[in-house]
Structure 1
Amino acid sequence: MDLTDLPPILGRSYVPPANAGGRGELVAHARDSIARGSKSFAMASKLFDRQTRERAWLLYAWCRKCDDIADGQDHGGTLQGVTDGQARLSTIRVLTDMALRGEPTGDPAFDGFGVVMRECAIPERYAHDLIEGFALDARDWRPRSEADMLLYCYHVAGTVGCMMAVLMGVDPGDRATLDRACDLGLAFQLANIARDISEDEAADRCYLPQEWLAEMDIPPGEHMKPWARPRLAILARRMADMAAAYEDSARHGTGALPSRAAWAVLAAAGIYGDIAREVARRGEQAWDH
C-alpha cells in the first residue's frame, strides 16, 4: 500500500521525506520521545550501556507512537475519544510492516523501529502480537475473566518485555528467560491498569475483569461511583498483589542478562512496582489526583 492511501491521522498524512534521516537522527528523536513520554523508563534506561540504551530508546519510540496513534494522544497524557479506531489500527499495521521490510515510512519512530528490529534480530511475531492489543481496544473489547485481562497485558506489555530481552542479548529460543521478561511486562501493565482506572473510565474503557466487578456486586459502568470506591479499592489491592507476584517472578530472569542490563531492569521493576504499591496504599483515594 502506498502511504498516500492511508487516512490522515493526528492531523496529517504519512508522506516520506525525500531524504530519510540516518541512525543518529533516529536515536535523537527516540531519546526526545522517551524524555517526554516516560520519565520512569528514561531514568532506568540510563543504566544501560550506550548501545543497549539507544536500542531501547528506538523500541520505546515505536511503542509510544503506536499508542499515540491508537488513542489520539501526544506522548501519552489524557486519553482522547477516537471514532476511527480501525483506520488508526490500519495505519499502525501498514507502517510497522513497511519498517520491518526496511522501507522508509517518513516517520522516525517507525523507521527507528525497523533499525532496532534488524540490528537485534528480534522476532517479528512480538510486534504483531503487540498490535493485536491495539486491535482489542479498537473494537471496544472488555475482559470477562482474569485470564482475559492477563492476555491483554501480554499483548500490550508482555510482548515489549520479550523484545527488550532479545534486544539485551537473550537468545530468542531461551523460553525460560523470555517468560520472565514477559512477567515483568505483565507486572508493568497491571500497575498501569490499577493507576489509570479513573482515566480509562473517562475514556469509556475498563480493563477490570467483568467477573471481578460482578464478584463485588458493581454493575457495569458504575465502578467509579463514590459508593463503589471501597469495593474498587479491594480490586486494586488484588491487582497490586498480582503485579508484585509477576515482578518477583521477573527478577529471577535477570541473571541471564549482562550486569548493566540487569541493573536497569531491576530499577524499572522497582519504579513500576512502586506505582502498584502506592495505588494499594492510597486505597479509596488512589484516583483522586
Structure 2
Amino acid sequence: MRENVLRDAAATDTVRLGYRRARALTAEHGRTYFAASCLLPPRQRRGVWALYGFARIVDDVVDLPSAAPAPRGRAAQIDRIEEALHAVLHPAPDGRPVAGLDHRPEDAEQGDAHLESILAAVRDTVVRFDIPTHTFDAFLRSMRMDVPGTTEFRDRYRTWAELAEYTYGSAAVIGLQMIPLLGVRAAGDDVADGAATLGEAFQLTNFLRDVAEDLDRDRIYLPTDELAAFGVDEDHLRRCRAEHVTSPHLRRALAHMIAVNRDQYRRAWPSITALPNRSRRSIAAAAAMYHDILGEIERADNDVMDRRVVVSGRRRAMLAAQAISGRRPW
C-alpha cells in the first residue's frame, strides 16, 4: 500500500514537471502557440503545452545539423521516442519502467533528457481529453520523412497531393488532436476537416517563411511543379540563396502560393467559429497571428532569401485583441 502511494506521488510529480518543461519549450520556441494558449482555461492550456513540447522534442531531433549525429542516429532516436511514447500511452499492468528511457545513451540529445516527464504530461493530456493515439503515429511517420536513410524519407515534393502526405502527419493531425482539447464533444466532419485544414495552413505559412532555411537543410517543401510553372527550378532556388536575392520569378511563385495558403485559412474559418467561446477566441488569435506572417512576407516584397520575416510582439498582441473581440482577421 505504501509503495503504491509513493509511486502515485512520484508519477504526479513527474506529470507536473513535464507540464512545466513543456510550458518552457512552448514559450521559447512557439511564441504564437504560447500567446494563444494563455487565452484558454488552465487545464486546456497545459494540454497545448504538452502536445507542443512533445512535437518540439521530436522536431529538434529531426532538425539537428546533418553532421551530428548521423541520420541513422536520428532515426534511432525517433524509434526510441516512439517506443517510449507507446509504453506511456499503453502501460504494462505490472508497472514496468518506460521502455527506451531506462537505458538512455550517454550521447542522447538535450531534449531527450526531458522526454520522460513530458511524455507523462502527454499521457495525462491524452487521458483527460480522450485524444486519439493514432494521431501520434501519423506525426512520427511524417517526422521520419525528414530523416535520410528511413524508408519514409522525402526531401522534395512534386505536387500539392504529395506534400499533403507529409503535412497530414506534421500538421493536420495536430489540428485533430486539438479538437477534444478545445472542448468539442462530438466533432462532425466539417469541424474535423476545418481543424486539419487550419493545421496545414499553419504549416504552409512556415514553409513560405522558411524557404531559405529549409533549402540550407537540403529540403524543398514547396511543390516543385508549382515552382516550375513560374520558371523556378532547384538550381534557380540555390542561385537565389547564394546571392541572397529573391528573383522576380520566385516572387511571383510565392505570391501564387500565398493565395493558396490564404484560401486554406478562409476554408478553416467556419470551424473556428463553431468552437466553444473561450476556445474560439484562442484559436482565432493563433490563426490571426499566423495569417499575418503572410502579410509580413508581402510587406517585404516576398523577399524570403535575404531575411526571415517576423511578426512583432506588439502586432501579435493587437491581432490577438482583434480576434478576441470577434473580428474576422482576414
Q: TM-score range by the shorter chain?
A: 0.7 to 0.9
SS of 1:143's partner is: coil
Does the alignment pair 1:282 with 2:270? no
Offset from partner CA, 1:5-40 (integer Å, 9 cap, x none): xxxxxxxxxxxxxx5533322221111111111111
Q: Is contact 2:141–2:169 with CA below 8 Å preserved after alignment?
A: yes
Distance 1:81 1:274, change over 3 A: farther
Q: Give 1:182 shift.
A: 0.7
- Which residue identity is paired with 1:281? R
| Distance in 2 (alpha carbons) for counterparts of 1:83 and 1:238 | 34
Distance 2:214 2:47 in 1: 30
Matched residues in 2 for 1:64 and 1:221: separation? 31
Matches within 5 A, 1:25-36: 25-36=17-28
Whole-angstrom distance in 1 between the partners of 2:67 and 2:16: 31
Give the deviation of 1:243 after TM superposition. Answer: 1.8
Give the letter aligned to residue 28 of structure 2: R
Which of 209, 228, 236 is matched with 1:222 structurally? 236
How far apart in 2 are the matches of 1:172 and 1:151?
A: 26
| Equivalent pair of 1:218/1:228 in contact (CA under 8 Å) | no
Cα offsets for 1:62-110 (capped at 9, x unmatched) = 111111122228xxxx998852242233123212212221464562222
Q: CA shift at 1:205, angstroms?
A: 0.7
Q: Which runs of 5+ in 1 are unaligned?
A: 1-18
Partner of residue 107, structure 1: 116
Per-residue deviation at 1:284?
4.5
1:41/1:268 contact within 8 Å kept: yes
Matched, 1:123 2:132: yes
Q: Which amino acid aligns with 1:190?
A: L
- In structure 1, the residue corresponding to 2:199 is in which secondary structure? helix
Q: Is 1:95 the equivalent of 2:84? A: yes
Pair 1:197–1:261, CA change in 2 (3 A): same
Aligned to 1:283, the other structure's residue is in SS state coil
> How many Å separate the matches in 2 of 1:79 and 1:209?
27
Conserved in 2, the CA contact under 8 Å of 1:62 and 1:112?
no
The counterpart of 2:270, out of the listed 252, 266, 281, is 252
Aligned residues between the structures: 267
1:232-243 to 2 correspondences below 5 Å: 232-243=250-261
Partner of 1:5: none
Q: Is the 8 A contact 1:30 1:57 kept in 2?
A: yes
- Contact residue 187 and residue 242 of structure 1 kept, 8 A: no
Q: What's the counterpart of residue 198 of structure 1? A: 212
Bigger radius of gyration among the two? 2
Distance 2:285 2:68 in 1: 31
Runs of 4+ in structure 1 deviating by more than 6 angstroms, as ranges, are 78-81
Instruction: Output the CA distance in 1 between the equivalents of 2:26 and 2:186.
Output: 25
**Distance verdict in 2 for CA 1:81–1:40, change over 3 Å:** farther
Farther-moved stretch of structure 1 (41-50 vs 101-110): 101-110
CA offset at residue 280 of structure 1?
3.0
Task: Provide the C-alpha distance between the structure 2 equivalents of 1:276 and 1:80, rounded to a whole number of angstroms.
Answer: 33
Alpha carbons 2:272, 2:283 under 8 Å: kept: yes
The offset of 1:256, in angstroms, is 2.9
Deviations 1:128-166 (A, max 9, x none): 111121121122432111111233222211110110112
Aligned identity (percent) is 26
CA distance in 2, matches of 1:240, 1:81: 35
Deviation at 1:235, TM superposition (A): 2.0
Q: Which moved more, 1:95-104 or 1:126-135?
A: 95-104
Q: 1:247 offset after TM fit, Å? A: 1.1
Change (3 A) 1:160 1:264: same
Structure 2 portions without partners, runs of 5+: 1-9, 92-96, 102-114, 148-152, 308-330
8 Å Cα contact 2:246/2:304 also seen in 1: no
**1:144 paired to 2:158:** yes
Structure 1 residue 83 corresponds to structure 2 residue 83: no
CA distance in 1, matches of 2:75, 2:154: 11
Shift of 1:170: 2.1
CA root-mean-square deviation: 2.4
